[in-house]
């Protein structure tokens, strides 16, 4: 039977009903809350396309069951970070560097990088690459992404 | 939420009274704000039948419509696969019509409204698709000037076009496009003699206009195929056989059907799937099904793949070049060298698994898809469902990058069967294992080469044989149609993989033959730079072997045999860019734990278009056999450049993706099916491993624009192989260049 679950997403309290408390967060964000930022890539925590922030940390939402969330934890998605009109500095830097091709992985790249910059305001190239080493991009946009993170670091 | 608008299609009474020449078509396209950085409009859901919009590829109305507000809609059969083509096509159309960028909207790949310009492959979107749109826009511009001249009672030559308005060169009030046409059709054939704009006057083409789609993609407001929803939609998951060719003998669906929200278990022959109210419900139900499959072992032993390929039945030979007498001159040569190269099976590796939504309504099928070939898919779906093509509409939505024919079309066929089975719109999302296991693969390629040198070390004879599957760039058979035993193609479609088997150098005696194989282990298709990559790899690495045998610098050796000034220019410029040191390979000193070297490669894409030269710098770790590519230099001449940053982005992508393919990638399989079903078993290049890409573009504004999406990938494998040889003296003749193979080579020296 469907059970109500309360979540705190993009600075709003929301309630959803799920049949299965083990439903991964990603499915709730995409299908129940109709968010387009977090993306399904592998369902295995291997590619990073589904990354969201939970209390500021970059987390793979495809392997985060609802049951593992604690009440009041703050979930932020790409949409909650910024908008086309008011982009987050990391988003603005990705746009300025034209750091996407198909853009399918970019949610994860932006979310992972924003989490990095909140911990380490001036990361080196090597630190950026290490932070993103479990985020996969198939189009080969990596160099632009690293440039964008550096640009964001200098802007924050 | 995805907003869907339904435009009305109206014929004015006057137009009807006048007959067919001036049908009025009104498009209620989604509104667009003034910013050029809005997400692409969701293509409107138009009825399939009885819609008056021309989709003819030889009519201006096929490509261009002008609204009463002067806004122009361009209808493109070529689609943006994440390469930035939508932005580039917008630039080309706006340039030709003297409009600001934000006045032009490009609708892509909707069989209801866009002409069939052929699939989006082969680096032809700008070269062919863009050229057609440019010519249609030039014809439209000419017609608009004619209408204005008539209205003003002046000669066309006395008028100029500026910002969507036509006015006298001497000044005075102008007439806006929207007022001239008043939403009427042009009712004109595309005039091949309509003179496109003088490139000297370009203000948009040739500039790095920012990608129109990126702000939305980077802020999460973009609607990808995977985000698309329609009212009443439910979710399907497919359950593929564990072995290719297995028969579904039965299925215990009791557990699956007991789960909440499960609508139906769909079984049609060997096609098995579940449909549920929610996506997660469908995932769980698919896992709860207990199918019984017959055993099947149709694949060769992977450890003996190359013997299998060599022993495959040859259906025909394609002689791709034959100059002089290669066989005789080989016999008479002072020295003869021979080598065999192979290139592993690769998957497309799209980051987002394939997805589609299908809906049947009033006897017609609408399928939303990220297919690179919506018009061809429409015909395939019509054949599969035994429907009339007119009753099927495929609407393109951008998905994850596909780099060729991946699983998008198959997901569309899955969604179609499921929507038909449950009578509701169905979204099918493939799993990661579905994508890695069932997307069609880049086929294994085996190449034998032989060459003769004269006493000066010059090449006097070149002979090569390529063992590659038969077939071209047709329709890849749909998995669902095959499993359900519904009508489908059976021919192999690996792409035009014989391209670049012939060589761009002037040698007196050359014979290149492609043995076309009647079968290949896994369903083949094209993956970025199909055939051109594998063939250029063997040709350019073997040429490097000849240069080494002759004791000549490999760049100089190429320049000596090349009689094409534009080719010579890209090679000389990349040598300057990389500060190339003139000496033969391998390096004299090859000591230390890390060996460093450089290698060069060159291609003229398909021997008639884009020129690329590249230099790889590599590091080889002696202890582990690990190869790194810290830097890669490229110089490219693709004629007229539409968007320089777009071209740079494609080159960066080609280099990084191909370094990944060359160093790491290989599809693995047992006798039954693919076993590399995730990113752990099929690893790709990660951030710490990426090369720095250093490049120069040669722009030739007065030349034709040639493709840029693939050519620079062709040179990467050979440049790396040649650099590894330079560093180590070991020739890497088998892709991927795994540490195990590298270590074996180092131990043998």
Residues A142, A95 share a domain: yes
* Tens of pLDDT, residues B591-631: 999 999 999 999 999 999 999 999 999 999 999 999 999 99
Decide if B218 and A87 are in contact by the 8 Å CB cutoff.
yes
CA atoms within 13 A on the CB side of A62: 21
Q: Give the C-alpha separation, B611 to A149, whole Å.
A: 33
CATH of the domain at A137: 1.10.150.120
Report residue B9's pLDDT band, with 50, 70 and 90 as the boundaries.
very low
Residue B140 banded pLDDT, cuts 50, 70, 90: very high
A57: CATH: 3.10.20.30
The conformational region for residue B599 under phi > 0 = left, psi -120 to 50 = alpha, else beta, is beta
Residues of chain A with pLDDT under 50: none
From residue B108, alpha-carbon distances to B73, B237, B395 in Å are 10, 27, 8
Question: Which tens digits make up the pLDDT trace of A63-77?
Answer: 999 999 999 999 999
Instruction: List, for residues B283-306, the tens digit of each pLDDT value.
Output: 999 999 999 999 999 999 999 999
**How crowded is the C-beta side of A40, counted as CA atoms within 13 Å?**
27
Q: With the C-alpha atoms ordered A77, A154, B217, B284, is the resulting torsion angle positive or negative?
A: negative
* Interface mutation target, options A45, A101, A110, chain B, most CBs of B under 10 Å: A101
Q: How many CB atoms lie within 10 A of CB B480?
A: 28
H runs (alpha helix) in B289-393: 305-311, 326-332, 374-385
Q: In whole angstroms, what is the distance from residue A89 CA to residue A87 CA?
A: 6
The whole-number average pLDDT for the span B372-378 is 98
Whether residues A103 and A49 share a domain: the answer is no
Residue that terminates a domain, selected from A49, A80, A111? A80
Reply yes or no on whether the pLDDT at B28 is more than 70.
no
- In the stretch 435-464 of chain B, residues with CB closer than 8 A to chain A read none
A106: nearest CA partner in chain B = B218
- Judged by CB atoms closer than 8 Å, whether chains meet at B280 and A95 is answered as no
pLDDT in tens, B641-681: 999 999 999 999 999 999 999 999 999 999 999 999 999 99
In this model, does residue B43 exceed pLDDT 70?
no
The whole-angstrom separation of Cα B177 and Cα B183 is 9
The ipTM (two decimal places) reads 0.98
B-chain residues within 8 Å CB-CB of A20?
Answer: 260, 280-281, 284
Residue B40 pLDDT: 38
Measured between beta carbons, which residues in chain A are less than 8 angstroms from residue B400? 41, 102, 104, 138
CA distance A116 to B123: 37
pLDDT of residue B33: 35
Average of per-residue pLDDT values in chain B: 93
What per-residue confidence (pLDDT) applies to B611? 98
Bigger pLDDT: B550 vs B45: B550
A91 and A65 part of one domain: no
Cα distance between residue A62 and residue A129, in whole Å: 22
Q: Is the peptide bond before A31 cis (omega within 30 degrees of 0)?
A: no
CB-nearest to B218 from A47, A94, A130 is A94
pLDDT of residue B62: 97
The reported pLDDT for the residue numbered B749 is 80
Q: Are residues A86 and A140 in the same domain?
A: yes
**How high is the pLDDT of residue B173?**
86
Residue of B nearest to A90 (CA): B218
* Separation between Cα atoms, residue B366 and residue B231, nearest integer Å: 14
Inter-chain CB pairs, A–B, below 8 Å: 188
Residues A93 and A127 in one domain: yes
Which run of H or of E encompasses A5? strand A3-9
Question: Could A20 and B214 be called an inter-chain contact, meaning their C-beta atoms sit closer than 8 Å?
Answer: no
CB distance from B526 to chain A under 8 Å? no
Q: Choose one of A80, A110, A131: the last residue of a domain.
A: A80
Residue B453 structure tokens: 């040198």
Given a contact cutoff of 8 angstroms between Cβ atoms, the answer to whether B359 and B428 are in contact is no
Question: Does the pLDDT at position B35 exceed 60?
Answer: no
Q: What is the DSSP annotation of B493-505?
A: ---STTTT-S-SS
Reading the block at residue B155, the tokens are 């000669």
Helices B85-97 and B131-152 cross at an angle (nearest 10°) of 20
A91-96: list long-range contacts, CB under 8 Å, 24+ apart: A91/B218, A91/B219, A92/A152, A92/A155, A93/A148, A93/A149, A93/A151, A93/A152, A93/A155, A94/A145, A94/A148, A94/A152, A94/B214, A94/B218, A95/B210, A95/B214, A95/B215, A95/B218, A96/A148, A96/A151
Q: Which pLDDT does position B573 carry in this prediction?
A: 98
Residues 349-378 of B with CB under 8 A from A: 349-353
Cβ distance B444 to B344 under 8 Å?
yes
Question: Do A40 and A12 share a domain, yes or no?
Answer: yes
Give residue A64's domain range: 3-80
Percent over 90 (pLDDT), chain B: 92
The encoded tokens of residue B159 equal: 């008028």
Is the same domain home to A95 and A147? yes
Query: A97 and A50, same structural domain?
Result: no
Nearest to B556 by CA among B476, B638, B457: B457
Q: Which domains does chain B have, with CATH numbers?
A: 48-218 (3.30.365.10), 226-295+348-438 (3.30.365.10), 445-748 (3.30.365.10)
CB pair distance less than 8 Å for A83 and B221: yes
A90 and A119 share one domain: yes
Euclidean distance between the first and the last CA atom of chain A, given in angstroms as a whole number: 47
Q: For a pLDDT cut of 70, what percent of chain B falls above it?
A: 93
Ramachandran quadrant class, A103 (left: phi over 0; alpha: psi -120 to 50; beta: rest): left
Count up the domains in chain A and report the number: 2
CB-CB neighbors (< 8 A) of B215 in chain A: 84, 87, 95
Residues A64 and A130 grouped into a single domain: no
Distance, CA of B485 to CA of A11 (rounded, Å): 51
Q: Do residues A40 and A20 both lie within one domain?
A: yes
Nearest to B226 among A39, A126, A137 (CB): A39
Question: Same structural domain for residues A129 and A107?
Answer: yes
| Per-residue pLDDT at B184 | 84
Q: Is the peptide bond before B736 cis (omega within 30 degrees of 0)?
A: yes
Which residue, A36, A64, A80, sits at the end of a domain? Answer: A80
Distance separating alpha carbons of residues A13 and A11, to the nearest angstrom? 7
Per DSSP, which regions of B205-270 are E strands? 234-238, 248-252, 262-268
pLDDT digits over B388-402, tens only?
Answer: 999 999 999 999 999
Q: Which of 259-298 (B) contact A at CB < 8 A?
A: 259-261, 278-281, 284
């Amino acid at each position: 039977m469907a059970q109500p679950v309360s979540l705190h997403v993009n600075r709003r309290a929301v309630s959803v009903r799920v049949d299965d408390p083990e439903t991964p967060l990603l499915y709730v964000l995409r299908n129940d809350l109709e968010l387009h930022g977090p993306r399904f890539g592998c369902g295995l925590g291997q590619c990073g396309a589904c990354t969201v922030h939970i209390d500021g940390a970059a987390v793979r939402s495809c392997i985060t069951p609802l049951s593992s969330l604690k009440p009041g934890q703050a979930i932020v998605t790409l949409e909650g970070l910024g908008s086309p009109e008011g982009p987050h500095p990391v988003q603005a830097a990705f746009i300025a560097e034209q750091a996407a091709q198909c853009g399918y992985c970019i949610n994860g790249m932006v979310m992972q990088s924003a989490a990095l910059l909140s911990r380490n305001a001036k990361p080196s190239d090597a630190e950026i690459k290490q932070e993103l080493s479990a985020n996969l991009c198939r189009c080969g946009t990596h160099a632009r992404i690293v440039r964008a993170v550096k640009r964001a670091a200098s802007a924050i | 939420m995805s907003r869907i608008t339904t435009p009305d299609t109206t014929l004015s009474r006057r137009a009807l009274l006048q007959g067919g020449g001036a049908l009025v078509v009104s498009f209620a396209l989604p509104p667009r704000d003034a910013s050029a950085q809005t997400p692409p409009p969701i293509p409107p859901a138009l009825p399939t039948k009885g819609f008056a919009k021309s989709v003819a590829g030889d009519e201006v109305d096929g490509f261009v419509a002008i609204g009463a507000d002067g806004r122009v809609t361009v209808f493109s059969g070529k689609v943006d696969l994440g390469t930035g083509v939508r932005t580039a096509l917008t630039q080309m159309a706006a340039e030709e019509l003297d409009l600001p960028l934000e006045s032009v909207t490009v609708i892509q790949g909707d069989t209801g409204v866009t002409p069939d310009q052929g699939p989006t492959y082969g680096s032809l979107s700008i070269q062919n698709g863009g050229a057609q749109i440019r010519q249609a826009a030039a014809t439209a511009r000419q017609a608009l000037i004619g209408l204005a001249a008539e209205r003003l009672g002046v000669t066309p030559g006395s008028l100029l076009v500026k910002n969507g308005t036509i006015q006298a060169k001497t000044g005075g009030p102008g007439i806006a496009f929207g007022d001239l046409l008043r939403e009427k059709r042009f009712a004109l054939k595309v005039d091949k003699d309509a003179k496109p704009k003088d490139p000297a006057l370009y203000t948009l083409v040739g500039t790095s206009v920012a990608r129109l789609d990126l702000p939305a993609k980077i802020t999460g407001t973009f609607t990808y195929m995977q985000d698309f929803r329609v009212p009443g939609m439910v979710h399907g998951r497919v359950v593929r056989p564990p072995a290719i060719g297995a028969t579904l003998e039965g299925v215990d669906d009791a557990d699956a059907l007991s789960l909440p929200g499960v609508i139906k278990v769909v079984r049609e022959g060997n096609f098995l799937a579940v449909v549920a109210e929610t996506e997660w419900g469908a995932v769980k139900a698919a896992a709860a099904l207990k199918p019984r499959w017959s055993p099947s072992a149709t694949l060769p032993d992977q450890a003996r793949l190359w013997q299998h390929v060599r022993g495959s039945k040859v259906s025909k030979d394609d002689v791709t070049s034959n100059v002089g007498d290669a066989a005789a001159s080989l016999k008479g040569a002072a020295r003869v060298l021979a080598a065999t190269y192979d290139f592993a099976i690769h998957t497309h590796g799209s980051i987002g698994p394939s997805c589609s939504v299908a809906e049947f309504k009033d006897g017609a099928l609408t399928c939303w898809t990220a297919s690179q070939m919506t018009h061809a898919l429409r015909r395939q779906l019509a054949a599969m469902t035994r429907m009339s093509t007119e009753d099927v509409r495929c609407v393109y939505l951008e998905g994850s990058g596909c780099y060729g024919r991946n699983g998008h079309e198959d997901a569309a066929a899955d969604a179609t069967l499921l929507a038909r089975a449950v009578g509701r719109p169905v979204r099918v999302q493939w799993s990661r294992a579905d994508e890695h296991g069932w997307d069609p693969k880049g086929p294994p390629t085996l190449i034998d080469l032989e060459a003769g040198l004269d006493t000066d070390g010059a090449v006097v004879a070149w002979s090569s044989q390529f063992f590659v599957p038969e077939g071209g760039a047709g329709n890849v058979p749909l998995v669902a149609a095959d499993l359900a035993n519904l009508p489908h193609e059976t021919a192999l479609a690996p792409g035009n993989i014989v391209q670049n088997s012939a060589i761009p150098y002037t040698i007196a005696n050359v014979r290149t033959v492609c043995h076309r194989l009647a079968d290949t282990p896994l369903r083949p298709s094209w993956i970025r730079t199909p055939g051109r990559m594998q063939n250029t790899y063997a040709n350019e690495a073997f040429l490097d072997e000849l240069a080494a045998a002759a004791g000549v610098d490999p760049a100089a050796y190429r320049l000596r045999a090349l009689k094409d000034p534009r080719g010579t220019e890209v090679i000389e410029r990349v040598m300057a860019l990389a500060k190339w040191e003139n000496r033969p390979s391998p390096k004299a000193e090859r000591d230390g734990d890390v060996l460093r070297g450089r290698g060069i490669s060159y291609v003229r894409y398909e021997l008639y278009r884009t020129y690329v030269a590249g230099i790889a710098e590599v590091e080889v770790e002696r202890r582990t056999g690990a190869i790194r590519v810290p830097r890669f230099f490229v110089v490219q001449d693709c004629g007229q450049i539409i968007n320089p940053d777009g071209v740079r982005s494609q080159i960066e992508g080609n280099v990084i993706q191909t370094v990944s393919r060359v160093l790491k990638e290989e599809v693995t399989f047992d006798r039954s099916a693919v076993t590399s079903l995730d990113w752990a078993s099929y690893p790709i290049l990660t951030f710490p491993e990426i090369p720095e890409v250093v490049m120069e573009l040669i722009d030739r504004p007065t030349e034709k624009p040639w493709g840029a999406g693939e050519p620079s990938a062709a040179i990467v494998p050979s440049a790396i192989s040649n650099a590894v040889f330079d560093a180590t003296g070991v020739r890497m003749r088998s892709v991927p260049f795994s540490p195990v193979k590298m270590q074996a080579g180092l131990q043998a020296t």
